A and B are shown apart, each in its own frame.
Chain A
Amino acid sequence: MSRRPLILVLILVLAFGLSATAGAATTIHYWHYLSGDYAEIHEAMVEEFNALHPDIQVELLYTGNQFVTRDKLIAAVAAGQPPHVCLVDQFWPPLMVATGALVPLKNFVDTDSYFADFNQISLDTVTVEGEIWTMPFSLSNQILFYNKDKFREVGLDPEKPPATWEELLEYAKLLTRDLDGDGRIDEWGVNFTTRANMGAVYTFITFLWQAGGRIYNEDFSAAAFNDEAAVETVQFWRDLAHRHKVLNLSPPQEGFETGRIAMQIASTSSIEATKRKVNFDLGIAPLPSYRQKVTGVGGSSLAIFKTTPQEEAAAWTFVQWMSSPENNLKWSTLTGYTPLRKSVLASPEYQSYLAENPAVQVVIEQFQYARARPNEVSYADVSRILGVAVEEAVFGNLDPKPILDNAVAEANTYIEMSK
């Protein structure tokens, strides 16, 4: 008789005890700069993580575009208040490592065995001085999108996209037309980012490398983007815009997707989004090349910042999950980013995706001659300076040499400061 209340009490205590240990969830602040089409997919992934992990809740915060996010991140780090996790662009790791605020991934796992499944190029972008500092999340290169219908309209073979700079110019000239005879161009031949504050430098250095130019000199002690190849590259861009008038420096929003621009150089990460938006026959081709075949490597990784051991552990659980084989497969097939893991590339699901999208094969093959951005602490500043210099010459229709010379001088002050 007297046992019943005791058992009841015991059960109640157990119940309370269990719920107490379940405890409050660890909140992880995750800053990122993804907007537009990937944003929703990305958000859905994070929500799924939160649903599956009631003890870890990730708060997603969009902190502006890459440039704004980077500035805010560095300021937050300097103030001692970094977020728990932040999405970092392909070339930020050296800079972030230099701040001393990152937690190297070897703290959580044996990196040699853990990352054996990841392909080399994705690891190159997150390795600084031999150690892996951030979790690769996405991988891309640059590709040429083109409108096969427009090609047909002007008499070009839709299966023969331009393979060289010369062909690019030639084709673009044919594809730039004034359709209604009112003296204004209605359709342009080619488009790529030209504004410095929108990241044009990423596209520019690919062209630069194709021309045989360099950003830094051999031992990375100074900037070297004012040689003949660099001048030639800037002139090419400048002439596309002003002399040949095939490149519109203020292009209509989504001009390619709406059929007003026939060719576009963009990141492979936008393949799926572009496919969804266009209602014409979409072509995907390797970048036209010049003296060398080069394409740029883009992407991002997830950085864990020093906070508390509990939060860092939760952050590790989160970033691991985001790049797990299942999620990397999902992310890659929904966006157009290239899989990070060899297992994903080889998986039947991805192979069938490739079979349905032969153009994506182009992307994967391009990685043979993809070049990542220099792994230098000063690169972020140097690239900003280069971007503005290119913009100045291109938008102002000016002689590139003096502008590049000045930019090299300014870049050198940053390189010196970073040593």
Chain B
Amino acid sequence: MDARWLAKIKRGVIYLILCAMLIVMVLPFAWMVLSSLKEEDEVFTYEMSWLPAKVTFSGYVRALNEQPFLRYGLNSVLVSTIITMAQLFSSVLAGYAFARLKFPGRNLVFFIYISAMMIPQQALIIPSFMLIRRFGLVDTYAGLTLPFLAGPFGAFLMRSFFLSTPTSLEEAAVLDGCSRLQVLAKVVIPLSKPALATLGLFTFMQAWNDFMWPLIITNSVNMRTLQVGLALMKTDIYPDWPMMMAATVLATLPIIGAFLLAQKQFIESLAFSAVKY
């Protein structure tokens, strides 16, 4: 009896602690949504209230009027999609080359790729900026996407995946007379869907949330991505908080929505890199 009691108490305590942590995790989001529905002056009272006295969408209206949020969203979608497609393309090819093809210098090149993964983005940002400027691509979609169309991480990930899959089907295809690239297209890729989904999701999220590069590479309002547009809204000395919260809700809704619909994939894609480390 005692043991069961203890176990029950233990579970109760665990639930309690977890619930407390859950509240801490979720509270800011709840506060964000509630604030976005308040009138501007209701927010500046010392008597804090959780629920809006009068639910209003005026914050959202102001947010959409002040800045072209739809345009920002479109830019983010476009840029993230281009980057993701390109990364998948280049990483699958590169990963396959590293994993399955023998060529001189393979280990050396791969070693360079691995070492490069340790380079922080900021060390590259100034010369990349100057390069894009020399090409005349500042403030363009090309400028926003070019540096990210390929990267060592994607190649590394795909190589790891390919190395861990059996080669029997591929060898059979080669014996049947397929070229290596055909083998890649017809046999390997269809079987790599989970890895592709993982890399794709990871890349998309990174691109969507990226802030520093779009900040420096865009000047005109119409080229801003969602993150930059959001950040630059908060530059006034007296911010319009309900409007800012509304803007933040609009900016985070897509990704949180996607996350809730595909939780497993999101979590796996981010954790995947850890497992393969």
Inter-chain CA distance A83–B220, complex, in Å, is 8
Contact status A76-B238, CB under 8 Å = no
Contact status A36-B238, CB under 8 Å = yes
Contacts across chains A and B counted by CB atoms under 8 Å? 48
Contact status A78-B221, CB under 8 Å = no
Which residues 59-111 of A have a CB within 8 angstroms of B? Answer: 61-65, 67-68, 72, 75-76, 78-81, 83
Do A79 and B66 contact each other (CB < 8 Å), given the known contacts A65-B236, A253-B238, A254-B238?
no
* A327 part of interface (Cβ distance < 8 Å): no
Contact status B235-A64, CB under 8 Å = yes
Least CB separation from B46: chain A residue: A252
Contact status B220-A29, CB under 8 Å = yes
**Binary CB contact string for chain A from 232 to 265 against chain B (1 if under 8 A, 0 otherwise):** 0000000000000000000011100010000000
Binds A, one of B50-58, B81-89, B132-140: B132-140
Majority secondary structure, B binding face: loop
Inter-chain CA distance A252–B44, complex, in Å, is 9
B contact residues, total (Cβ < 8 Å): 16
* A418 part of interface (Cβ distance < 8 Å): no
Residues of A within 8 A of B44 (CB): 252-254, 258
* A164 part of interface (Cβ distance < 8 Å): no
Inter-chain CA distance A61–B229, complex, in Å, is 13
Inter-chain CA distance A64–B138, complex, in Å, is 19
Least CB separation from A39: chain B residue: B66
Residues of B within 8 A of A81 (CB): 138-139, 219-220
From A36, A64, A252, residue with most partner B Cβ within 10 Å: A64
Inter-chain CA distance A78–B237, complex, in Å, is 28
**Binary CB contact string for chain B from 61 to 91 against chain A (1 if under 8 A, 0 otherwise):** 0000011000000000000000000000000
Task: Determine which of B66, B235, B237, B238 lies in contact with A68 in the assembled complex, contact meaning CB atoms within 8 Å.
Answer: B235
A contact residues, total (Cβ < 8 Å): 25
* Shortest CB distance B214–A (Å): 13
Residues of A within 8 A of B219 (CB): 72, 75-76, 79, 81
Task: Determine which of B133, B232, B237 lies in contact with A64 in the assembled complex, contact meaning CB atoms within 8 Å.
Answer: B232
Residues of A within 8 A of B216 (CB): 75
Task: Determine which of A67, A76, A193 lies in contact with B220 in the assembled complex, contact meaning CB atoms within 8 Å.
Answer: A76
Contact status B235-A79, CB under 8 Å = no
Do A76 and B139 contact each other (CB < 8 Å), given the known contacts A61-B221, A62-B221?
yes
**Binary CB contact string for chain B from 208 to 235 against chain A (1 if under 8 A, 0 otherwise):** 0000000010011100000000001001
Residues of B within 8 A of A221 (CB): none
Least CB separation from A195: chain B residue: B237
Inter-chain CA distance A258–B44, complex, in Å, is 10
* Shortest CB distance B176–A (Å): 53
* Shortest CB distance A417–B (Å): 17
Inter-chain CA distance A62–B235, complex, in Å, is 11
Which residues 233-277 of B have a CB within 8 angstroms of A? Answer: 235-238
Contact status B235-A65, CB under 8 Å = yes
Task: Determine which of A63, A252, A258 lies in contact with B221 in the assembled complex, contact meaning CB atoms within 8 Å.
Answer: A63
Contact status A79-B220, CB under 8 Å = no
Residues of A within 8 A of B237 (CB): 65, 193, 195, 198
Inter-chain CA distance A71–B238, complex, in Å, is 21
Residues of B within 8 A of A61 (CB): 220-221
Least CB separation from B139: chain A residue: A81
Residues of A within 8 A of B136 (CB): 79-80
Inter-chain CA distance A65–B235, complex, in Å, is 6
Which residues 190-213 of A have a CB within 8 angstroms of B? Answer: 193, 195, 198
Which residues 134-166 of B have a CB within 8 angstroms of A? Answer: 136, 138-139
* A35 part of interface (Cβ distance < 8 Å): yes
Inter-chain CA distance A78–B136, complex, in Å, is 11
* Shortest CB distance B274–A (Å): 37
Residues of A within 8 A of B66 (CB): 62
Inter-chain CA distance A83–B139, complex, in Å, is 12
| 10 new A-B contacts at CB < 8 Å, known A61-B221, A62-B66, A65-B235 | A36-B236, A61-B220, A65-B236, A68-B235, A75-B138, A76-B139, A76-B219, A79-B133, A79-B138, A195-B237
The 13 listed contacts between A and B (C-beta, < 8 Å) are A29-B220, A35-B236, A61-B220, A65-B236, A75-B138, A75-B219, A76-B219, A79-B138, A79-B139, A79-B219, A81-B219, A81-B220, A254-B238
Q: Which residues of A contact B (CB under 8 A)?
A: 29, 35-36, 61-65, 67-68, 72, 75-76, 78-81, 83, 193, 195, 198, 252-254, 258
